[in-house]
Amino acid sequence: MARLDGPLAETVVVDLSRALAGPHAAMLLGDLGARVIKVEQPGTGDDTRGWGPPFVGPDEDPVSTYFLSCNRNKESIELDLKSDDGRSRLTQLVRAADVLVENFRPGVLDRLGFDVDRLHELNPRLVVCSITGFGHDGPEGGRAGYDQIAQGEAGLMGLTGPGPDEPTKVGVPIGDLLAGMNAAQGVLAALYEREKTGAGRVVRTSLLSSIVGVHAFQGTRWTVAGEVPGPIGNQHPSIAPYGAFACADGQLQVAVASEVQWARFAELLGLDTGDPRFARNADRVTNRPELTAQIEAVLATGGRDEWLERIGAIGIPCGAIRSIDQVYEWPQARSQGLVIDVDHPVLGSIELPGSALRFDPPRPAGDAAPADGTPGTAAAGSGAAQQAGHLPPPGLGEHNKKVRAWLDSLDA
C-alpha cells in the first residue's frame, strides 16, 4: 500500500490533531504525496471516529463517514502520550519528521513535555504547525474552539441566512476547513524557507483568523465604509442581479456582473433598459426587490433547463442548484478527479471526495513546452489519473506494527 509520488514525496508529517481543522491540514499534505502518520489515543482514537450517524459497515465495527471525510492518505498508530512508551515513540517520530501538526488547546503539548523548544531541540529542521480556536495568545487565546462557535464569534453567521433575525451557519464546518487550508499553506511556505535556511519554524493559524481572513468585501464595508453588513439570503450585497431566482419549476442562479452583461440579460428577458431604477449596478442594488420581482415574473413563464440554456447562450454566467448526490454523479465533477476510489480495510471499495488540486506530470529539465503551448496532455491530467494511489482512511492503530518497525529501523 503506497502513495504515488507527489510534490511532497519523502516528506514525513506527524499528525497529532483530531476533529477536523488539523486532520484536514494533514490530509491536504498527504494528497500532495507526504507520508502522514496519524497519532491516536489507544482504544478510542480521533474524536470523529464516534461522530455520527451516519455510520457504515458492520454493527460490530461501524465506521464514521465524518472520519472518512478528513483522513485519507494517512497511517494510524496508537500512542498514549502520557505514558513513557508513548512519549518515547513520539520522540522518535519528531526526530524523523519534517512536519508536526497539532490542534491542542494552548499549553497541552507543553505539559506533555513537547513544547516548541523541546521539539526543535529534537529536530531543528521540524516545521511545527499549531491550529487553535481563537489564537495561541491574546486575552481569549486559551478558549476551546469548535467550528460553529467560531462562525458565530467571527461574524460569519451574522452575514449568512435569510435575514437579520435568523443568523445561520454555513452548511459545512467552514472555519475548520479554512484553518486546515491556511495551515497547509503555511507549512508549504515554511518547508520552502527551510530549503534556504536549514531550519524549521512554527506556523500558527486559528479558526478565528481563518474566518476573519475571508470576510473580503464584507470586512471593508465596515473597516472603510462604516457599514455593518447583514444577511440577505441568496442575493449578492453589492451586485444585482446576482443570485438565485425562481422560475416555473424551481430555482436557477444568475450572475450579471457588468453593464454589458446587464444589457444582454435585460434584452433577453424583455426588461426596460431605460428604467432609471436599473440604469447602473448601484441603482439595481438599491432597487433590488423591484428588479427581482420583474425578473421572476418573466422566468415564471419557462422551466429551469430552458432558461439556463437561453441565458447561457448569451454569455451570462448561470447555473442550477444541485443536491450533493447530483454533484457526485455530475460528469464534470468526476472529470476533475473530485471522486476517488479507495479500498477500505472494513468497507471494501468505496468512493470519497477527491483533492481540489491536479498536477500535470513533471517535465524533464530542458524539455521544451509542447508546440501548442499546453502544459501537458489531457490524458496525463485527467481525473482518472489523479485518483490512482490514494490510501483509504486508516483503521484505528492499523499501522502500529509498521510504524514501530520503521522507527526501530531508524535507530538501528
Strands 242-247 and 63-64: unpaired
Q: Hey, is 305 helix, strand or coil?
A: helix
> Which own/partner contact pairs does 358-365 have at CB distance under 8 Å and 24+ positions apart?
358/383, 358/386, 359/6, 359/7, 359/386
Catalytic residue among 46, 47, 176, 325: 176
* Strands annotated E in 159-291: 202-206, 242-247, 250-255
Helices (H) and strands (E) in the chain, counts: 17, 13
Which amino acid is present at 217?
F
What number of other Cβ atoms are within 10 A of residue 125's Cβ?
Answer: 14
Question: Rounded CA gap, 113 and 279, in Å?
Answer: 66
Confirm whether 47 is a catalytic residue.
Answer: no
Q: Hey, what's the cell of 226?
A: 462604516
Q: Give φ, ψ of 324 to 5 degrees.
A: -60, -45
DSSP code at position 404: H
342-352 b/e with 16+ CB inside 10 Å = b?
bebeebeebeb
Greatest C-alpha distance within the chain: 82
Positions marked catalytic: 176
